[in-house]
Structure 1
């Protein structure tokens, strides 16, 4: 058998694959046939993995996530990759939303003095930053959020890493819901309908989240699940308070002029 020099690493080998880096021995010149094969692979990969996973996250979310955690993974898109894809897409969509319009509507429907308007301006900037960076925050908060679900549902058969996967899928689910409502969000931006719609999206996300957790922990007594979920909410609120209180103290200390009568 002829000696082949690997085009990737320069290693000399025999056979169909380089024993050093794993590249194929035969690499055809890039042409239309190559692009056709790549397009077919990409479409089949998206259709067979991504679309299937998205459908499962809405048809039977908790069951699907539990099956993935338990080892039934061949048909599912990789959860971390899914989250990054959706986060990137969400970020692109948010560039088309003018948050200033929403603030103007809220200011117009409230009777406020200059001091209150200034405070509202700062609070809105914080909210605007959060919404603009929502996908990034979903990713950064995953370790903390997973720690909370692990503590709240401790002893129910899943370790911390498995809770990370649960929450990666859940974060993707929340992004999908937000993306699904985007056409309406864009159309009604800067109106009271848009403000109401934002609250509706939050309610939908909350309800779907509960449904997902109930399915994921299938077989557990409902009363015990409710107690565990209340503990989960308590831990979430505690974590939020621990983050907000120092921020509020800093805000009041650096903006004393806003609170002087």
Structure 2
């Protein structure tokens, strides 16, 4: 008998390949064993995906620190986990747009005359969600270097790993809660208002554990991070307005607001 994955010779009693670690499959594919495989992979408490998800809440320093320090088999690796988060985010947007479109109406949160701009902004975020998720990671890593100046525990690449995990975890949670709240008719604008401070607290909790800081230290550094975040997004908004001005879309928006009035 040979391994179907790497062609290594195996004994008839082997359950796993001693070279690549693949499980020996003896039975033909049926609905029953396909469901069993799905259950073992995604529903079993001991599987790596569920353990990674749970431990990123309980002991984020174990998941992230293990990966940074070279332990790569205990939890889902950072790239795979981020890819799963992107897939889940795309799926939840599909569900909201097709089954709960009314919950995506953010007009109640827009200032007078800003409804069209708000609608275009939401549409842009949804269209480029995956790209934005990837761009946020190095941006957060840079801001973290500025926030935790004087503490040289992580280099820039390691901070990328930290925020890949955090961004993935928060995206998965956002997807799950958004679908649940939308199913009972709660507007996504309300969900966002509530979830943003919770995400900040979760990030602070993870960074506190990773940097091994006391409450006072992480509180002050969180305030500094928020100041840097505010300045960063203000600069990004100025750049976006400049781009809109250069391509004429800003003038179109102004004309639409005048017509609305």
Is TM > 0.5 for Structure 1 vs Structure 2? yes
Does the Cα contact within 8 Å between 2:61 and 2:210 map onto a contact in 1?
Answer: yes
Task: Look up the match of 2:216.
Answer: 223
Give the stretch that moved more between structures: 94-103 or 228-237.
Answer: 94-103
Task: Look up the match of 1:122.
Answer: 117
Equivalent-residue separation in structure 2 for 1:228 and 1:194 (angstroms): 30
What is the count of residue pairs matched by the alignment?
A: 231
Task: Look up the match of 1:205.
Answer: 199
**Structure 1 residues 104, 137: CA separation in 2 closer, same or farther (over 3 Å shift)?**
closer
| 2:237 pairs with 1:240 | no
Give 1:50 deviation, angstroms. 0.9
SS in 2 for 1:33: coil
SS in 1 for 2:145: helix
More contact order relative to length (CA 8 Å, sep ≥ 6) = 1
Give 1:88 deviation, angstroms. 0.8
CA displacement 1:152-182 (0-9 Å, x = unmatched): 2243311111101100110111112112213
Task: Look up the match of 2:7.
Answer: 24
Alignment of 1:122-201 (within 5 A): 122-154=117-149, 155-189=151-185, 193-201=187-195
CA displacement 1:113-138 (0-9 Å, x = unmatched): xxx1xx31122221232145434311
CA displacement 1:11-68 (0-9 Å, x = unmatched): xxxxx89xxxx942569xxx97264899877765555211110111122224432343
Equivalent-residue separation in structure 2 for 1:157 and 1:110 (angstroms): 42
> Gaps (5+ residues) in structure 1?
1-15
Task: Look up the match of 1:101.
Answer: 102
**Structure 1 residues 79, 221: CA separation in 2 closer, same or farther (over 3 Å shift)?**
same
SS in 2 for 1:96: helix
Q: TM-score, normalised by structure 1?
A: 0.71
SS in 2 for 1:141: helix
**Structure 1 residues 132, 228: CA separation in 2 closer, same or farther (over 3 Å shift)?**
same
Q: Compute the RMSD of aligned alpha carbons.
A: 3.6
Q: Pick the structure with greater CA Rg.
A: 1
| 2:251 pairs with 1:254 | yes
**Structure 1 residues 238, 105: CA separation in 2 closer, same or farther (over 3 Å shift)?**
closer
Equivalent-residue separation in structure 1 for 2:106 and 2:166 (angstroms): 32
Task: Look up the match of 1:33.
Answer: 27
**Structure 1 residues 110, 214: CA separation in 2 closer, same or farther (over 3 Å shift)?**
closer
